Structure 1
C-alpha cells in the first residue's frame, strides 16, 4: 500500500504508475527536484499537479493542472514561479484572482468598445426621455424611429420603397468612433439633401449623446461634445421662429372650410385647438373621463405640470356633445381603442377652401394667444389656459382658479366666434352651428 504522502524524484513512469488506494481520500507524491511541487491522486484515478508552500505561518496550496495538460518540466517551472512569489511575501492566489479579474474586465471593455449606435438606439428610445417629461411625445418618438430607419419598406402612400433616415448612416458606428470628424462628414453629406432636415437629425443625435453620457456604463465610450463642435455648429442653418397664425379676416373662411370637412371628428378637433389654445398632443389624448359637463371644465395632460384644468366653454362643450362615444377618447380614431393622430391632411383641405396659404396646427395655438389679446383677456390668464410656464412679466402672473379663468375663456371664445361670423347662443348651446354671412 502506498503512503498518503511521499517524496521522490518525479518521472513520467512514476507519474503514470502513481495511484490512490480506495480507502484514502487523496495521496501526494512530492518531487525532490522541486520541493513545492507534488502529484495528487484520488480514488477516482484523477491526477493533478499541485503547489504547496507556507506564507505568514499559513499553508498555501494551489492546483496547477493535470499531467496530460502540464508536462513535468513545465509543472516544475510553474511551481518555482509560485514559490518565488511566496518568498517575496506575495500570495499567488491573490495574484491569480487579480489576473482573472483583469481578464474579465478586459473582456467587458472589449465588449463595450464593440457597442454600436444601433445596439443602444432601441434602449434609448425605451429609456430615454426629454427634460421634465416622463416619456417621449408619441409623434417625436415616431420621428426618432423614422430618422434611424433603414428604409426599403413599401410606402404606405404612393409607389416605391421608403428611403433610409438621415441618422441611419450613424447606426453602424461604434460609440467610441463617434467624434467630431465623423459627425462633420455625416452632416455635410446629409445637408446636401436638405440642411434643415440634417440639422434636426443632428439635434436628435445630440440627445442620444447626452443620454449615453448620463449612463455610467457608456460614459467613457462617448464624446458628448462631438455634435456641438464648432466645425459643425458654425454650418448649421439659422433657426427660423415660426410666427404663423390666423388673421382676423381669415377666421370666417377658416371656420367655413373646417365645418364642411367630411371627417367631423377632425373638424371638431381643429376648432377645439383654436378655441382652447391646447397643444395638439394634449387635446388629441383627451379622454371622456376628463371632461366634466356638469361643472364645465376639462383636464388636459400638461407639458410643464402633470395636468392642468381649464374651463369648458359653451361652444367647445357643444362640439364635444356632437361627437359619438366610440371609445375612451373624445377624439376617437378609426383604429380601435386609439385617439386621432394626424389631422394635417384635413386641415390642408380646409385651408385650401379658405384660400389660406399656410397655417400649422401649432399656429392655431398661437392664434388663440393673439386673438385672446385682441379680445382683451389678461396675458396671465391666456398663459395659464395654454399651459405656458408661469412668468412674473406682463400683468404680474399669478395662478387663477378655474372659476376665475371662466369669464376670460368665454370672452376669447365670443370674440373668435363673432369675428368668424359664427351664430351661436351660449345660453341655448344649440347643436346647429353655421357660419353666417358677414
Structure 2
C-alpha cells in the first residue's frame, strides 16, 4: 500500500496492541507508526553497519506524506553511507546541552563508591558553575575550548590560585560527565573528543596546577590557655547573646575533640549519649565515610550539658542556628576572629584539629589512639587489624587527659591576666 494522506487518515487505531506499523509499498523502509493512543508518526527503517535502525521523521499532523517520503529517502541515503540516525540525533542534542544542564544532571545522578554526592559537594559544584563559570553556565559545553580554559585559569589564578585549582577540577569532572553520557556504544565521543581542561594540563601543556601548600596553622601551645579562657567567657549567657554562646561551645567542642567543623556543626542530640555509663557522641557523616563513636570526657560533658540545657525546642542540632534554613550553626566567624586575635595567628577551623593533635602528644597519648580520636584510617597492618579497638571506654583516659590539660592552661591564663604568679604546668 502506498502511504498517502487520505489513506493514513482512514487507518484504524489499534486496540489490542501498543502500536502497529504500516509500510509503504513504493519506498522500502518508509512507514507509519500508530499507537493505541491514536498518535500517528512517520518513520524510516534501514540498516547501518549491519544493524537495524529506526528513526522518527515527524508527526502525521505536521508532515504531509510526500514530504515525509522525501525525508525518508534522504535518511536512507545517510544510512547507506554509514551514518546512524540515532547517533546523529543524540549528537545534535548533545551539542546544545549547556554547562548548567550538565551540572544539574551530574549532581542528581553522579554516584561514587560511597553513594550519591554529599550536599556539601553539590553546593560546591553549583557555586562553581553559577559564580566562577557564570559566563559559561548557559552556553553549550561544546563551546568551551582549551584556549578559553587557559585564559580563564590564568586570570583567576592571579587572585585565588588554590580556589582556581578546585574550580577547574570541578569543571573537568563536569566535562568528563558530558563526554561519557553522550559516548556511543562503540566508544566514540560525539562531543568533546578531548576534555579541554585535561588537555591544557597535559605534560608539556601550557599551564600547570597552582602550587598548594598544606596549612600548618594551629593555636600556639602557650596561647591555648588564653583561647580556652576566652571561650569560657563567651559561653556565659549572662554576658553574651545566644549565637555567641553557641559559637563558643562549638569552638570548644572542636578544640576538645579534634572534629572537623562540618562534622561538629551537624551533630544532633540523637547521636549524643550524655547519661550512658560511658558518655559518647557519634559522628555518622564523616569526610572519610567512616562513622565513629567517641567518648565524652568530663570537660566536654560540661560543655554539652550546658548546650543541652539551652537547646531550642524543635531543633535537634547540638549547635543550633538561631535563624536560617540549615538549622545548625555552620560558620562561627565572628568569634573565630577573636580566637585568632588571642592566638596571634590567623586561624581556620581546621587549625583546632591540629591543636588537638598537639595537645594529645603533649599529654602522652600514643599515635594509634591519636589516629582513632581524629578518625584517620590506618594504612598499616597493625593499625588496620590490631590498634583499632572501637570501644569508646578504651579512649576515655586519653580524652580526660586532653580536657584536663586544656582547662588547667585556661586557669593559668586567667591567673596571669590578673597578675598572679603562676608556675606553668608541666606536660
TM-score, shorter chain, exceeding 0.5: yes
Report how far residue 344 of structure 1 moved: 2.1
What's 2:53 paired with? none
2:283 to 281, 297, 300: 300
Q: Residue deviations 1:319-375, cap 9 Å, x none?
A: 1111112111110111367111101221102322x1523111100011111211111
Q: Residue deviations 1:279-303, cap 9 Å, x none?
A: 1111111111111112211101322
1:108 aligns with 2:90: yes
Could you say what secondary structure the match of 1:203 adopts? helix
Q: Distance in 1 between matches of 2:200 and 2:151?
A: 12
Distance 1:248 1:395, change over 3 A: farther
What's 2:51 paired with? none
- Does structure 1 conserve the Cα–Cα contact (< 8 Å) formed by 2:266 and 2:328? yes
CA RMSD of aligned residues (A): 4.3
**Count of matched residue pairs:** 349
What's 2:252 paired with? 271
Distance 1:61 1:148, change over 3 A: closer
2:118 to 133, 136, 141: 136
Distance 1:409 1:168, change over 3 A: same
- Does structure 2 conserve the Cα–Cα contact (< 8 Å) formed by 1:329 and 1:339? yes
Q: Distance in 1 between matches of 2:257 and 2:355?
A: 10
Q: Distance in 1 between matches of 2:247 and 2:177?
A: 36
Could you say what secondary structure the match of 1:126 adopts? helix
TM-score where L is the length of structure 2 = 0.68
1:314 to 293, 298, 321: 298
1:414 aligns with 2:404: yes
1:392 aligns with 2:380: yes
Q: Bigger CA drift: 298-307 or 124-133? A: 124-133
Could you say what secondary structure the match of 1:242 adopts? coil
- Does structure 1 conserve the Cα–Cα contact (< 8 Å) formed by 2:3 and 2:24? yes
What's 2:311 paired with? 325
Q: Distance in 1 between matches of 2:205 and 2:214?
A: 21
1:283 aligns with 2:264: yes
Written as runs of structure 1 = structure 2, the 5 A alignment for 1:114-133 is: 114-128=96-110, 132=114
Report how far residue 212 of structure 1 moved: 4.0
- Does structure 2 conserve the Cα–Cα contact (< 8 Å) formed by 1:378 and 1:395? no
Report how far residue 379 of structure 1 moved: 0.8
Report how far residue 246 of structure 1 moved: 1.4
What's 1:187 paired with? 153
- Does structure 2 conserve the Cα–Cα contact (< 8 Å) formed by 1:333 and 1:340? yes
Could you say what secondary structure the match of 1:236 adopts? coil
What's 2:392 paired with? 402
Q: Distance in 1 between matches of 2:210 and 2:290?
A: 34
Report how far residue 180 of structure 1 moved: 2.8
Distance 1:259 1:95, change over 3 A: same
1:148 aligns with 2:148: no
1:371 aligns with 2:354: no
Greater CA radius of gyration, 1 or 2?
1
Report how far residue 259 of structure 1 moved: 2.7
Q: Residue deviations 1:107-152, cap 9 Å, x none?
A: 22101112121221223233346664643353x5444333332xxx
1:248 to 202, 209, 221: 221
What's 2:334 paired with? 345
1:360 aligns with 2:348: yes
TM-score where L is the length of structure 1 = 0.67
- Does structure 2 conserve the Cα–Cα contact (< 8 Å) formed by 1:130 and 1:136? no
- Does structure 2 conserve the Cα–Cα contact (< 8 Å) formed by 1:184 and 1:232? no
Q: Distance in 2 between matches of 1:347 and 1:38?
A: 78
- Does structure 1 conserve the Cα–Cα contact (< 8 Å) formed by 2:4 and 2:65? no
Distance 1:39 1:419, change over 3 A: closer
Q: Distance in 1 between matches of 2:112 and 2:332?
A: 25
Q: Distance in 2 between matches of 1:251 and 1:347?
A: 14
Provide structure 2 residue ranges, at least 5 long, that are not aligned to the other structure. Answer: 12-22, 33-41, 43-59, 235-239, 423-427
Q: Residue deviations 1:138-167, cap 9 Å, x none?
A: 3x5444333332xxxxxxxxxxxxxxx322
